[in-house]
Amino acid sequence: MKLVRHGQAGQERPGIIDAQGQIRDLGDHCKDFDPAFFAGDGLRQLKTIDLQSLPLVGADTRLGPCVARPGTFLAIGLNYVQHAIETNAPIPTDPIIFSKAPSCVSGPNDPVLLPKGSTKTDWEVELAFVVGKRAHYVEESEALDYIAGYFICNDVSEREFQLERSGQWQKGKMFPTFGPIGPWLVTSDEIADVQNLGLWLELNGKRIQNSSTSDMIFSIAKILSDTSQYVALEPGDIITTGTPPGVGLGMKPEAYLKPGDVMRLGVEGLGVQEQRVVRWGEQ
């Protein structure tokens, strides 16, 4: 299944993509794709619905974040070999885990806001997933069974805040709109091999990230298993799993986002996002 949330910000309704690629409204069958939905085995219940009986949604309707109000939003740093090399960072021996604020989540095509004083805001196309059931001390061999589905995340990052100001990476990772997710939440049964998906990002029409999840240092199963050693992951929590090479930080000279720039990004089988960059206060 391909699940979406549609409508104005803060008023989104759950929806599903039918066989013809049209959005169908699910509001009469579930409240939202939130932690309670995943904890209540909501995905299984949706499989019994006749999609043709559902009302159609206009094709021009805004798409919101494909997961509502995650309790926890975690991320993995330096998880692609070539990305670590381009940023002159050592290859990690264990997954690097950091947090993004749930309040940074935005829709897949919503504007990305530049913070006040920002000069080094960067892009990062990533594969992300949502946890389907409580995961604590999970074995790697069983880890994929805990994942409800996958989606695209743009892990937008302000590099000065992240790397040049005292503290942890979170300072550059949590600003509002720094976590566009969607357009679709694709259930795990539709992804044959999560470690062999192409992913890419274009900036102003030029493709600058172009890789595959096969270049990951730590697999999706390893990420969930390792993270579950340190935190009890709950249904509806989301984890984004690292970016391939081609970020602004790794360019020579470095290059960063400016107002009016357009990012377009995709992951194989998970759709496409597009965001225009806007300065804070001008949205």
Q: What is the pLDDT of residue 88?
A: 80
Mean pLDDT, contiguous 10-residue spans, the chain (283 residues)? 97 96 96 97 93 94 97 95 83 94 98 96 98 98 98 97 87 96 97 98 98 97 98 98 95 96 98 97 82
End-to-end, the C-alpha distance of the chain in Å comes to: 33
Q: What is the pLDDT of residue 120?
A: 97
Sequential DSSP letters for 126-148: EEEEEE-S-BSS--GGGGGGGEE
Q: Give pTM, 2 decimals.
A: 0.96
Q: What is the pLDDT of residue 87?
A: 80
Residues 83, 100: Cα–Cα separation, whole Å: 20
Q: Token pair for residue 88?
A: 């002159």
| 75: Cα within 13 Å, side-chain hemisphere | 29
**pLDDT tens digit string along 167-186?**
788 899 999 999 999 999 99
Q: What is the pLDDT of residue 222?
A: 98
Residue 96: strand pairing partners: 77
Residues 221, 191: Cα–Cα separation, whole Å: 14
Using CA atoms, how far residue 3 sits from 158, 209, 274, in Å, is 30, 26, 18
Q: Token pair for residue 108?
A: 């897949």
Domains of the chain, earliest start first: 68-279 (3.90.850.10)
Q: What is the pLDDT of residue 90?
A: 86
Q: What is the pLDDT of residue 83?
A: 85
| 256: Cα within 13 Å, side-chain hemisphere | 14
